[in-house]
Structure 1
Amino acid sequence: MKRGSLFIFFALVFNIAFAQHYEYIDSSKVMGPKSYAARVKQQPELRLVEIKKYIPAIVLDIRYATTNNFMHRKMYEQGRAFARLPVVLALKEMEEDLKNRGLGLKIYDAYRPYSVTVKFYKETPDTNFVADPRKGSKHNRGCAIDLSLIDLKTGKELEMPTGFDSFSRKAAANYPDLPAQQLANRELLKSIMQAHGFKVIATEWWHYDFNGWAKFPLLDIPFETI
């Protein structure tokens, strides 16, 4: 076999093995609809809830239900947002606090089925921006929110360092070389989120994990079955 053909052969074998490894992760680590239903029957306070039902005024821009995302195709069948009940209650308190400042929240993404995380990683295996399926994402646990701030009078987003899902260095939560207004808006979001029990991740100014996420298992439940 020629060197070029040999290289292609091993590349194909590696890709097949790689895909299978991530598609067939230990099922005990990822909770499906049946096991999830049994768990929340025992612990209803840990259930996924629809954010809009608890916070009607919150603005949704669920990018993965559109083609306006880094995958350039729809990844969700529905443009809805879910999170664990304690996460949503914290967001509700925060939304009420923001009203006093004339501000509100816009959500880009919340709970994400595990199978979608696998698809992300297959196309963009950069763990600075895409979760490693061996660990899963806090989104898969219903404990991460991608969001920004809006002006309630205009409905417009406050100016931030980058748009959502940017793979730029400027997307980092502490990137310093930015216009003063972008820095101020980013830090305002950070301080408000931290005050309500969330922590920003280092590489994405818009991504916040809820404190205590580790007690929630990974989920692979389609929106339409929640």
Structure 2
Amino acid sequence: MADVSLEVLGAWLRGFAAAVAANRDQLTALDSAIGDADHGANLDRGMAAVVTALDARPAADAADLFARTGMALVSNVGGASGPLFGTFFLRIGAALGAATTVSAMELGAALHAGVSGVEVRGKAELGDKTMLDVLVPALDAWDAALDVPDSAPQLRNGAPSAASALSRSCSAAAARAAAAARDATAPLVARKGRASYLGERSVGHIDPGAASTALLFAALADALAE
């Protein structure tokens, strides 16, 4: 059942870095409407630092991979994005530990640990118009995809193809839910961060953190699909 390799997890992070770079201006434009107009630039700088850290040497295990990722973000990204994304990845690494391959269930549990870290660090709730409004629905979709009766017998018998299919199904479901949740932040009133200063004027704008979080799940689905 442990079908997601360390290489695939690394490809996820590199894919996220590429997606942030490609969407840097769009993320900054979203942030210019309700924030500091620096989300795209900041996150792009942070993910470039992540890639540099990963290029320095191969990761020994999942804990090493995500610890270096989280620390690179915390050290190189200003504002809320660095601590929040950094905490997310650090918690994933702590949950996966010395693993070099993980199952869909194990990766889902690690993602939940990451989301819990964001909740504690950001002190936000669903509906506050933050990245949490994408993280929670995406993980709900992952959990729902895990509960696939037709796949359960093969998974219990340890069929690798079934486990791989389940990981792909979970990540694709999470990516779809993340994209929908991103768009659903537009009608919300921001209650956290600089956007909260705008009150009702924040309505009609997609939260930039929600947008970058949707890219995160799209990159994971792409890495698993390959």
TM-score (normalised: structure 2): 0.30
Q: Which has the higher contact order (CA 8 A, sep 6+)?
A: 2
TM-score (normalised: structure 1): 0.30
Give the helix-richer structure, 1 or 2. Answer: 2
